Amino acid sequence: MCDNQPVPRQPNTAAFRHVPRTTWLLAGLVFSVALIVYINTLNHAFVFDDNGEIEKNYYITSPAYLPRIFSAGFWSFLDTPKIKRLGNYYRPLKHVYYMGVHMVWGAKPFGFHLASIIFHALVSALLFFYIMEFTRERMSAFWGGIIFAVHPAHTEAVAWISSIPHISCRFWIMLTSFIYLKTREPRFRRMFDFNYVLAACCFLAAMLTHEIALLLPLALVGHDFLNGGFRNKPKAWVWEAANRYALLILAGGLYILMRIRALSDFAPSIRHAQLSRFEYFINVFPLLKDYFVKLLWPYPLQLWYTFQPVHNIWSGTFLFSLVGMALFVSQGFYLWKKQDKTMLFGMAWMVIFLIPVLNIKALGENTFCERYLYIPSLGFSLIISGAMARLYAHRGLKRFAQVVGIFLVLMAVFLGALTIDRNRVWKNNEILYTATLKQNPRSDYIRISLGTVYLDQKKWARALREFEIVKSRNYNLRSLYTNLGIAYQYLGRREAAEREYRMAIKTDPYNIKSRLNLGVICERTGRDKEAIRLYREIIKLDPEHFDGRFNLAAVYYRHNLISQAVQEYQRLLKNTQADNLSLAQVHFNLAVIYAKLGLRQEAIQHIRRTLAVGSGKFPGPGLPAKNERDAGKIRGNKMSYDILGLMGNLTDITVPLPISLSTSMLPPCASTI
């Protein structure tokens, strides 16, 4: 080999071998800081969508649901034979993650918060090693990792359990990129190299966690281009690209096929249909500007940002964002001339991973979300680390670099304090919604959600006040009708409640909750025939609906339609989604019916099943019972029933009506967000 011929750098096959102790200490410090700033979220409750995604999600209770998880959309656990919930989410690994935590901790918020914090700390530490692959300098990578770990814009992603896809997807993306970069020289990669296959598997895991990972190959192409990965003639580029990216492209294609099969389309749900294509386009720039500003100045933070679209190019908001984008692009050209690859790649990373959240027609009502910054902010950390690496590399600026280091320490402390303070807002729904409405009082969805919190707390008047504020300015929200009806019904205003329920059913023919509550009103006003019709409609919409079938059986019993009542109760016992307490109530009602029919053995059998299934805790305000002899009194609706009397002397007792599910008669209706 000639002396003037460059010697290619050999693949780095030892990613973590011979890592200096100082490097491990810095990574451990980043990990620890990430834990400390979020430690005050461990005692937080489930908030926002957490209740629906965890407490009401039967998918996470058993591995038997894994085939369904990977073959259907994320919200499919809420589907019924008649009602299919369209959505753009295909995130099977989110269910798998929930399932794993549920197996260890059950449906307790503590376990889920602990897992989110640990995941965030792992991501922060992995980011430190990832940045070192670019800068080859420990301290610059440390500053990037620390700023990421304490950045307040990440509180939504970490403190809110349902945002776990953003954390876990970031983990898999970084792991994929890190493994991909283990071979420093792109020309030495081979398609079926072990590391390459492993990177493709991690890439598939990232996509199955969050669809934003589909753009990772684009980021890797940008990295290879900036680092001279396409040095051959253009004719050879196709072969080089196939050699490097084939497995990643195959993994992406497999994910797209799985997604389309599960959702019937890549993104079937379209929002903000009132905007034209031109309006879609011009609103991208203000939205992109808002994300950049939130990274640079993460205050104030809030759960819900009301989308105020721009309708023409002469709007001040659009012009201001256009100026900001021009400055951003000019800075990119400057870094290109300076050949600052780390900072330039950081800017490219931010833009690439913000592309999906700029697609306004695929986003929900809450178009701008802080959690969407969790993955793009890696680019922000790269920019900080790249700038510090330049300072450390310049001998004449070492003193200035020390001053900047002190400033970064102070900034990290300040940002960490903001994060700890912001975490308190996510403690429970009432605090979260109240704080959000102080910043954004015209957020109707959040106000409805706050009203449902008051319903759960039995503060009927306060709930009604929140709903009526929304009604005064926006009476077209489907979730408003049902919630208004519930508030009116609790306050004894049955006519007003009935009006709202009928309006809810008219605007949404698949509204089950309004039918259920309207059926209760019909029962209490002597209109049992209409109640039966409503309950039958519920069962047609959802044959597995427990409350509708339970109430229908109770009406049958009152009308002495014993066989129909028994038939409905027997079907309820086959309901795989019912909890033990509900099944205990069914067994007790069957025992009451069999006692009335004089079937002593059947009655005793179901009483025993009541105690066994209910684990000694009888439904309603009954006393706990370890066995039949110390069961004591069982109380239902204004009745006291002696188990021993039922088992010992059936002819001497007065058999009451079956008990009713008081919680199912008037269920709170969470707002659809």
Helix (H) or strand (E) holding 640: strand 640-642
Of 393, 423, 453, the residue that ends a domain is 423
The structural domain count of the chain equals 2
Residue 648 reports pLDDT greater than 50: no
User: pLDDT category, 268, cuts 50, 70, 90?
Assistant: low
Is residue 636 packed enough to be buried (19+ CB in 10 Å), middle (13-18) or exposed (0-12)? buried
pLDDT at 4 over 50: no
**Residue 180 in contact with residue 193, Cβ under 8 Å?**
no
Of 384, 406, 423, the one marking the end of a domain is 423
Are residue 402 and residue 544 in the same domain, yes or no? no
User: How large is the average pLDDT for residues 600-618?
Assistant: 73
Concatenate the DSSP letters of all residues of 535-577 into one string: HHHHHHH-TT-HHHHHHHHHHHHHTT-HHHHHHHHHHHHT-TT
Shared domain for 193 and 59, answered yes or no, is: yes
Mean pLDDT of 411-422: 94
Per-residue model confidence (pLDDT) at position 35: 95
Which residues, in sequence order, are CB contacts of 573 under 8 Å at separation 6+?
A: 583, 586, 587
* Claim to verify: residue 404 and residue 553 sit in the same structural domain: no
pLDDT at residue 192, rounded to an integer: 61
Pair (413, 551) in one structural domain: no
The answer to whether residue 469 is domain-embedded is: no
pLDDT at residue 230, rounded to an integer? 61
Task: Establish if 15 belongs to a structural domain.
Answer: no
pLDDT at 621 over 60: no
Per residue in 72-117, pLDDT tens? 888 888 776 666 766 778 899 999 999 999 999 988 899 999 999 9
Q: How many helices (H) and strands (E) does the chain have?
A: 30, 2
pLDDT tens by residue, 11-53:
444 445 567 888 899 999 999 999 999 999 999 999 988 988 8
Top-confidence residue, 643 or 414 = 414
Lowest mean pLDDT among 64-68, 72-76, 270-274: 270-274
Q: Is the pLDDT of residue 422 over 70?
A: yes
Write the CA distances from 97 to 61, 115, 156, 615, integer angstroms.
12, 10, 18, 29
What residue numbers bound the domain in which 350 lies?
21-266+290-423
The residue behind tokens 């709170």 is 668
Residue 587's pLDDT band, with cuts at 50, 70 and 90, is confident
Sign of the dihedral defined by the CA atoms of residues 315, 316, 318, 323, in that order: positive
Q: Is residue 519 part of a domain?
A: no
Contact in structure between 324 and 191 (CB atoms under 8 Å): no
Q: Which pLDDT score is estimated for 166?
A: 92
Take residue 503 and report the two structure tokens written for it.
């309006």
659 touches 585 (CB < 8 A): yes
Q: What pLDDT sits at residue 83?
A: 67
Digit-coded pLDDT (tens) for 141-157? 999 999 999 999 999 99
Whether residue 166 lies inside any domain: the answer is yes
Does the pLDDT of residue 641 top 50, yes or no? no
Lowest mean pLDDT among 80-94, 353-367, 447-461, 648-662: 648-662
Q: What is the pLDDT of residue 650?
A: 37
> Does 657 have pLDDT greater than 80?
no
For residue 187, what pLDDT is reported? 46
Q: Are residues 260 and 403 in the same domain?
A: yes
pLDDT the model gives residue 100: 92
Q: Which residues partner with 607 through β-bridges?
A: none
- Retrieve residue 151's tokens: 């950045």
Q: What mean pLDDT is predicted for residues 322-347?
A: 88
668 preceded by a cis bond (ω within 30 of 0): no
478/298 Cα distance (integer angstroms) = 34
**What is the model's pLDDT at position 412?**
93
Mean pLDDT across the chain, nearest whole number? 81
The pLDDT-based confidence of 360 (bands split at 50, 70, 90) is: confident
Say if residue 542 is in the same domain as residue 405. no
Percent pLDDT > 70 in the chain is 83
582 contacts 599 by C-beta, under 8 angstroms: no
Report if residue 666 sits inside a domain. yes
Per DSSP, 265 falls in state S
Other CB atoms within 10 Å distance of the CB of residue 647: 18
Residues 62 and 197 in one domain: yes
Per-residue confidence (pLDDT) for residue 634, from 0 to 100: 37
The pLDDT of residue 628 is 34
pLDDT in tens, 477-534: 777 888 899 999 888 898 999 999 999 898 888 888 889 999 989 988 889 899 999 9
pLDDT of residue 140 exceeding 70, the answer is: yes
| pLDDT for 350 | 93
What distance in Å separates the CA atoms of residue 562 and residue 288, rounded to the nearest whole number? 64
Residue showing tokens 């088992």: 647
Backbone angles phi, psi at 492, to 5 degrees: 85, 10
- Whether residue 275 is predicted with pLDDT greater than 70 in this model: the reply is yes
Average pLDDT on 319-325 reads 90
Measured CA angle at 666 (ends 665, 669), to 5 deg: 130
Last residue of a domain, one of 406, 423, 440: 423
d(CA 149, CA 31): 8
> What's the confidence (pLDDT) of residue 399?
81
Beta strand spans in 527-639 (E): 633-635
pLDDT tens for residues 383-411? 999 888 888 887 777 788 888 889 999 99
Confidence of residue 475 (pLDDT cuts 50, 70, 90): low
pLDDT score of 235 more than 90: no
618: CATH: 1.25.40.10
In this predicted structure, the answer to whether residue 436 has a pLDDT above a threshold of 90 is yes
Q: How far apart are CA 268 and CA 288, in angstroms?
A: 24
Look at residue 482 and tell me if it is in a domain: no
Q: Is the pLDDT of residue 232 over 90?
A: no
Residue 97 counted as domain residue: yes
**Looking at the domain assignment, is residue 334 inside a domain?**
yes
188-227 confidence digits (pLDDT tens): 455 567 778 888 899 999 999 999 999 999 998 888 888 7
